[in-house]
Each structure stands twice: as structure tokens, then as C-alpha cells.
A = this chain, B = another copy of it.
Amino acid sequence: MGFEAIERGSVTTPRGFAASGVTAGLKRSGAPDMALIHSPSPAIVAGAFTANVVCAAPVQYDRDILAGSKTVHAVLVNSGNANACTGQTGLEDAATCATAAAKLLNIAPEEVLVSSTGRIGVPLPMDTMLAGIEAAAAALSDDAGLDVADAIMTTDTRPKSIAIAVELGGKTVHIGGTAKGAGMIAPKLRMQPPQATMLAYVTTDVAITKQALDAALGSSLDSSFNRITVDGDTSTNDTLLVLANGAAGNDEIDESRQDFAAFAGALEHVLGWLAKELVLDGEGVTRFVEVHVTGAKSDEDARQCAEAIANSALCKTAWFGADPNWGRILCAAGYSGIDFDPMKINLDYGDVPVMRNGADAGTPEADQVAAIDRREFRVGLDLGSGQGTFTVWTCDLTYEYVKINADYHT
């Protein structure tokens, strides 16, 4: 498609975006915990949020903003506290933070979106937040995008940041992105309204209509964030925001233009890269597994089947041990709630045949082990019952995952 990857690319690679990442003091560790992204020009915004019925205050706040406005100027993010299950206080705190940032940036409160990630159920320490917001606003810079990637991390082990350049109508358009994940990762993002504690922020200097940006985001979700799962737990805070400020000066893209597909493809690339990075850096992950289901009666059946396999504790622990125990995969497919004929199943690990027509393919076990005893591999399950297909990206379940999550609090 002709993207150019930008070295040390970030959310400030696109023209007209400034950002900062600072230490407000929300984390006991003293690591950076607050980020601000700012576009002095109004930015068209598209968002997707968690489908969890229990959604955090900032998610509710941002949904309301997106329902009422097409453009925003800023996004304020804190880690260390999720502002979830905090009742009416949580909503008021979200509004107070947005208003404080707006005042410092000389914009309207409804031009600021807010996100939070971290512990659930504890109100935001507002003094700490307000001082942090002042520091974040003072630190804004057009080359500080990598600081955003640092400041939004919780149990992540490394920052995730990317930017690409793509030619659209004779102009160079940039797309920059960052995300954090690690645990409670099984986003079910819904547009209008969608939701993760996946957090992801994408900036772009493309000129595009609101409708076209929504369409490009909507068509990219199922091949990026909505195909990943670390632990099957869909967070109360999952948020994905895309801001487009038009600074590239290209002719405004709408859905009827040829360059729409090119932009949508470039956006999908950035979202897909970030989503895969989240799995690779998932809590305690030692293996990345692509579960590719084909031959289902529908794409929705294929999704349901792939998710059951990807979330099965028995499959995930077998992968950790490089145990080719394919019965566990069949078992998960069988209880996934979809209908198929077990006698028609074919299964492969990478290129190695494991099952044919519902029974052992006869591949020596050592070859099966070799196919999965690696950092990345694919489980290909063909149900032989139709044309439905879906791919999920997931990981193994390890001692380290248990350790991180049993010890999270202390």
C-alpha cells in the first residue's frame, strides 16, 4: 500500500499536534502517569468504547462529548486510577479534569476528552490530578509523543508507539498512534457507542469528513483491537480515539473518493500494529498465537469459536507448555455454542497438519511440538461447514500472569 514507517514515530509525528507525558503522582512507583495530546486546530474525532455495561466515568463522559460534537482539541489521559465504579463523584471528577485542562489550553470544556486506567473503585485524588494537569499543559511540545506512550502504561513492560506516512492526493499524510494494554484485554469495541483497559490514541493530519473517519475506524476494528484477547476480561475503560486535524492540506477525504480506501488501509495498519503489540506485551505472555477459524457457517460463528479457543485456560496453559494437546482446542470449539460436524474438522499448527476429518492426522508428535514451541505461531481450524471466517490474536497463560494478577494490589 506504500506506507513509510517513521523511525521513533509517535502521536506528535502528524503536523499540528503537541503532547506531553508527566508524573502527577498517581502511581506508587513514581513512574509517569499523565499524558496530554493537543491540537490547536480543531480535530475531527472518532471514538470507540467498551461494550461493558459497567463503564468507567471517563467513558461515559467521552461518549456524551462525541454525541454532541464533531471536533475536539485535546485528550487528557491518566494511569494509576481507572475512575471506574466511582458513581456520581467519578462523573463530576471527569468533568472537573476536562474543565481544568480546557482553561489552561484556552478552549471549551467540551473540546477535551478524558481517559483513565488503573485501579477500579477508588475516586481520583483530585488535588494530585489538578496539579498534574497544570504540569502536563506546561510540558506540551511537538516532539514529546513518545512521552505519551510512557505515561499511559500500567502493567505494560514497554511503550507502544508508531507513525507512518502515506501519500494521498499528492500530499503526505501522517498517522501516529500509541496504546497500552497488558491485562483485562478482550476489547469489544463498539462505535457509537463502543468501549477497553485497552487505551489507544491515534492522531493524523489528514483532512477528512467526520463520516469518512467514522467509516474508516469502523471497518478497521474487527481486524485490530476487536480480534485481540489476553484474558477474556473486557474492561470497563477500553477507549480508542482518533483525532484528525487536517494539517496535511490534502483535499478533504469523503467516502466517495478514491483515496478513502488508501487512508482506511493506512489506519487499519496502524491499529493492527498497536493491537498486536498489546498481545505481545500482555501480562506474562511468552507466546503470541493467531487462532484462525475458517469453514464456519457464518463469520459470527467463526468469531465465537475462535474466541472460545483463545480464552480457554486449558488451551492457553498447553501453549505455555508447548503441549500439542489438540483435544483441548476441539473441546473449546465444541462448547463455543456454535454448530458444526466434528467429523469434518481439519486442524493445523502453522503448516503442520494435526487433524484431518475429525481425527489425528498422523503427524509425529515431535513435529507438532516444533510447530508451537516458538514465540509466534498460528492455530488454523477449518470447521468444514461453511464460508465463515475470523481471526483472533491471543497468547499463553503463564505463572507470570497469575503472579501479576494475584499481586497487583499489594
Residues of A within 8 A of B (CB): 51-55, 82, 84-87, 89, 119-122, 183-184, 186, 188, 231-236, 311-314, 317-318, 320-321, 323-328, 330-335, 338-340, 342-343, 355, 357-360, 397-399, 401-403, 405-410
Complex interface: chain B residues within 8 A of A186 (CB): 335
Q: How far is the CA of A374 from the CA of B330 in the complex (A)?
A: 36
Given A85-B359, A327-B84, also A53-B405 (CB < 8 A): no
A183 and B338 contact, Cβ closer than 8 Å, known pairs A87-B357, A121-B360? no
- 13 further interface pairs, Cβ-Cβ under 8 Å (given A52-B334, A85-B326): A51-B335, A53-B340, A84-B330, A184-B331, A188-B335, A231-B313, A232-B312, A313-B313, A317-B401, A317-B406, A318-B408, A321-B406, A399-B402
Determine the distance from Cα of A333 to Cα of B233 in the docked complex, in whole angstroms: 10
Whether A335 contacts B234 in the complex (CB less than 8 A), given A340-B53, A410-B321, comes out as yes
Give 29 A-B contacts (CB < 8 Å), ordered by A residue: A52-B331, A52-B334, A53-B334, A54-B331, A54-B333, A54-B334, A85-B326, A85-B355, A87-B357, A120-B327, A120-B330, A121-B325, A121-B327, A121-B360, A184-B331, A188-B335, A231-B313, A232-B311, A232-B312, A317-B402, A317-B406, A318-B408, A318-B409, A320-B406, A321-B409, A399-B399, A399-B402, A401-B402, A402-B402
Which residue of B has the minimal Cβ distance to A237?
Answer: B331
Which residues of B sit under 8 angstroms from A343, Cβ to Cβ? 87
Q: Is A407's CB under 8 angstroms from B52's CB?
A: no
Shortest CB-to-CB span from A338 to chain B, Å, is 7
Docked CA distance A107–B311 (Å): 45
Q: Which residues of the other chain, B, contact A406 by a CB distance below 8 angstroms? A: 317-318, 320-321, 323
Query: Given the interface contacts A233-B331, A317-B402, does A325 sit within 8 Å of B408 by beta carbon?
Result: yes
A134 to chain B, nearest CB (A): 28
**CB-CB under 8 A for A53 and B85, given A314-B405, A321-B405, A331-B233:** no
CA of A89 to CA of B324 in the docked complex: distance in angstroms?
Answer: 21
CB atoms of A53 and B313 under 8 A apart:
no
The answer for the CA separation of A339 and B53 in the assembled complex, in Å, is 7
Contact B236 A330 (CB under 8 A): yes
